[in-house]
Amino acid sequence: MKTIQFREAICEAMSEEMRRDESVYLMGEEVAEYNGAYKASKGMLDEFGAKRVIDTPIAELGFAGIAIGSTMTGNRPIVEYMTFNFSLVGIDQIINNAAKIRQMSGGQFNCPIVFRGPTASAGQLAATHSQAFENWFANTPGLKVVVPSNPYDAKGLLKSAIRDNDPVIFMESEQMYGDKGEVPEGEYTIPLGVADIKREGTDVTIVSFGKIIKEAYIAADQLAEEGISCEIIDLRTVRPMDRKAILESVKKTNRLVVLEEAWPFGNVATEITYLVQSEAFDYLDAPVVKINTADTPAPYSPVLLAEWLPDHKDVIKAVKKVMYK
């Protein structure tokens, strides 16, 4: 094992897949000459050249369309968005073309493409740069949605995403690029659609994904001091969702808290809540509690942002609520 940063895990995954398959290429704003806005493509231009590591204009709709079209001629593009907030400019291409090519061509064309970049808030970036769109994309048939929370998962999942024959939305975080973690020295992949139990527990299940799961770890440590045992499930892939892992855990603990950095209406936590009440209702000893951001655009003020964003204190409060403590 070796210890690397999240950004290095992303870079390694892309580089290894580009060495493995000449049809894979990277395009996006500042991915080449600047080594990536977050240095996640450092050194790739030097190794692969300007034909496979391509700087684009600030034109997300345009380069998304070019990349999607190129899949129909045998390529496997990786499109980097500087932030998924900017993907809204190109969302017509993602939803109406990438997600539908296979069906609308009668299976004649696959669309093996990865759209990757940071999602959700990252400090004082204000309302238009602090949005989480996992549930938007996960609502769309034809798309797979991956949200890793650590370097090991990020590298293994990204390699699988690049090899996948369907479009994959791969969502990271500006606040995780410097995170360090162990990854194997050799080749490995992690299959899409498989959750991971990050912490075994017996009293309550906490389901989360992405960077916000760190708040669940903090809460679980503090709750353990009070004798409450939390099981933490990292979804890793939002769509397809590992329904079995969630249900098996809830049947063991009989309680569920879902932590998600997203607006509260119609999100991933809502889907999980429906899943559990429809397929494990008789196992529940308490109503499901979901924790989300406030139902407003993200504020710029650091004081208001701290109130808007869920934290470990919210998790502790929710766990104690389902424990009737």
CATH number of the domain encompassing residue 240: 3.40.50.920
pLDDT on residue 186: 94
Give me the half-sphere count of Cα atoms (radius 13 Å) on the Cβ side of residue 127: 5
Is position 188 within any domain? no
Exposure letters 91-120 (e unless 16+ CB within 10 A, then b): bebbbebbbbbbeeeeeeebbbbbbbbbbb
Instruction: Note the pLDDT tens digit of each residue in 224-239.
Output: 999 999 999 999 999 9
Q: Are residues 49 and 160 in the same domain?
A: yes
Percentage of the chain surpassing pLDDT 70? Answer: 100
For 118-144, what is the mean pLDDT?
96
pLDDT on residue 1: 95
pLDDT on residue 295: 98
Q: Are residues 148 and 295 in the same domain?
A: no
Please tell me which residue in 8, 129, 174, 261 is annotated as part of the active site: 129
Which helix (H) or strand (E) segment is 98 a member of? none
N-terminal to C-terminal alpha carbon distance within the chain: 42
Q: Are residues 64 and 16 in the same domain?
A: yes
Inter-axis angle of helices 6-20 and 151-163, nearest 10: 30
Q: Are residues 66 and 214 in the same domain?
A: no
Q: In the structure, what pLDDT confidence band is assigned to residue 130 with cuts at 50, 70 and 90? A: very high
Q: Are residues 126 and 49 in the same domain?
A: yes
Active site residue 30: no
CB 231 within 8 A of CB 263: no
For 281-289, what is the mean pLDDT?
98
pTM of this structure: 0.97
Is position 237 within any domain? yes
At CA 249, angle to CA 262 and CA 210, rounded to 5?
30
d(CA 57, CA 66): 12
Active site residue 312: no
Average pLDDT over the chain reads: 97
The residue from 183, 204, 223 where one domain ends is: 183
d(CA 125, CA 131): 10
Is position 191 within any domain? no
Please tell me which residue in 17, 60, 134, 260 is annotated as part of the active site: 60
Q: Tell me which residue range forms the domain holding 131.
A: 2-183
What are the DSSP E strand ranges found in 147-229? 168-172, 180-183, 196-199, 204-208
Instruction: Note the pLDDT tens digit of each residue in 15-60.
Output: 999 999 999 999 999 999 999 999 999 999 999 999 999 999 999 9
| Total of domains in the chain | 2
Q: In the structure, what pLDDT confidence band is assigned to residue 2 with cuts at 50, 70 and 90? A: very high
pLDDT on residue 84: 97
